[in-house]
Amino acid sequence: MPGFSVLRVIQVGFKSLHLHKLRSALTMLGMVIGVWAVITLVAIGEGASQDAQEAIKRLGAQNVLIRSIKPLDQKTQSQGFSFTSEFGLKNADATRISHTIPGVKRVLPILQQRKTAVHGRSEVDCQIIGTFPYYPEFTQARIVAGRFLTESDEREKTWACVLTVGMAERLFTGQNPLEETVVIREERQGSKVFRVVGLIEERSTADKMPQDEDPSGKTIEDNIYIPLSTMKGIFGTLDVDRSAGNYKAERVELSEIRVEFHDAEQVLSSLPLIRDSLNKGRDGVKDYEIRVPLNELNALKQQKERDTRMLLYIACISLLVGGIGIMNIMLATVTERTREIGVRRALGATQNDIIVQFLIETIMLCLLGGMVGVMGGWGFAEFRHHILEITTIVKEWSIIVAFGLSGMVGVFFGLYPAIRAANLDPIEALRHA
């Protein structure tokens, strides 16, 4: 059949669909919903997983996080006693890892303690984080104003501090915090006064410093960053908690060590080495945990693949349902248009001509439905992304798959009614009321 004939069949198909507008629209609805569902579900899934992936990526695929944890036996010991427990990572661990593990680019030690910061009348519970000047490169925190800590701050144990934006808002309501002073209250050593040199913003809540939970189960999200050397000098390594009438003191040299490798490929193979290195001189006490963002990333990717597959199954089922609806209507249409089929046969249409005509009409229904579904699904995803501001990412493949599937549904479910139409006896068909 030459090309112009197919075009003509499409033209006539439009006329036929137009003749029964409501029926065509209702028939298409199944396809619309199916395709809409595919595109929206994939976009929502993609958005959620992208958010999570970004968060994990910011922890760094080439990074390994080692955190101090309280060993189980010591936890029980400290119950209800005035007892100072000592555990966790040591400076020596950081040095050893940075010197002995191959492929390590650098190591970031972090010490964090919970304190109260005071400015004027504001008092805010916060997390004091003693760390090195290259901390923002590890967490990809953004410097909003001023600067971060420098090498000379670290070397000279200065009284410089950097606040998170949220912290600054709570402590300096409305004021410019730069060059202002912050008092960090400390019972044993006396309060210390720091000078604010900068403001930073962590990328999102997910990639803030892993926080210790306070007794009520809340994490403190307001951070003050000071040079690690200053922190060790003034607060020492003893963290005292007097909450809930409970005296609990912990001596932790480093809360966390972040290890950055040159290449993400080196991460997994180096894990046993890191573990060996840490276990040396620990006598079997497990007072640290290792977190590997790369592993989490891989797990997430697998999870995402499973989710995507499931979404596709759901989508296929809805398209299948839509297809059955379309087949049903097309069978009714063939019956209703039996006379037309007879006339066309009498006027020279072959069985193939009839098949092509009805097949193209079905495919057109499906593709039109698919198109509306694509527009609807895409539009809804953009609405969700831009207006509701929930990350929603329309994947090109989902449009192609959904649209392609709707076309295939058209062929598959259109074929049987079309063949039925073509197999009608022309004489019977002409006699049909």
Partner 1 sequence: MSARPIIEISGLTKIYDLGQVKVPALRGIDFKVLEGSYTAIMGPSGSGKSTLLNILGCLDRPTDGSYRIGGDDVSTMSDRQLSRIRGERIGFIFQSYNLIQQLDVVENIHVPLFYQGKDINSYREHCEKLAELVGLSDRMDHRPMQLSGGQQQRVAVARSLANEPLMLLADEPTGNLDSKTGEDILEMLDKLHGEGRTIVMVTHDDEVAERAERVIHLKDGLIDRDICVGKQVAATPAPTSEADVGEAKKVRFRVKLNRGEKD
Q: Of 9-17, 87-95, 309-317, 383-391, which part binds partner 1 (CB under 8 A)?
A: 9-17
CB of 329 to partner 1, least distance (A): 16
Binding residue for partner 1, selected from 339, 383, 397, 404, defined by CB under 8 A: 339
Q: What are phi and psi of 72, to 5 degrees?
A: -55, -45
Binding residue for partner 1, selected from 135, 329, 344, 401, defined by CB under 8 A: 344
Question: Residue type at 109?
Answer: P
Judged by CB under 8 A, does residue 332 bind partner 1? no
One character per residue 407-426, x = contact with partner 1 (rule: CB under 8 A) = -------------------x
Q: Which of 16/158 has CB closer to partner 1?
A: 16
Q: Which of 20/70 has CB closer to partner 1?
A: 20
Judged by CB under 8 A, does residue 15 bind partner 1? yes
Binding residue for partner 1, selected from 52, 178, 273, 343, defined by CB under 8 A: 343
Q: Which of 19/310 has CB closer to partner 1?
A: 19
Judged by CB under 8 A, does residue 12 bind partner 1? yes
**Which tokens hold the place of 221?**
């999200």
Judged by CB under 8 A, does residue 185 bind partner 1? no
Please give the size of the binding site for partner 1, defined by CB under 8 A.
Answer: 27
Judged by CB under 8 A, does residue 346 bind partner 1? yes
CB of 19 to partner 1, least distance (A): 5
How many other CB atoms are there within 10 angstroms of residue 145's CB atom? Answer: 17
One character per residue 349-368, x = contact with partner 1 (rule: CB under 8 A) = xxxxx---------------
CA angle 294, 299, 301 (to 5 degrees): 95
Q: Which of 12/310 has CB closer to partner 1?
A: 12
Q: Of 71-79, 209-217, 303-311, 337-345, which part binds partner 1 (CB under 8 A)?
A: 337-345
Judged by CB under 8 A, does residue 19 bind partner 1? yes
Interface ranges with partner 1 (CB under 8 A) = 1-2, 4-5, 8, 12, 15-16, 18-19, 339-340, 342-353, 426-427, 430
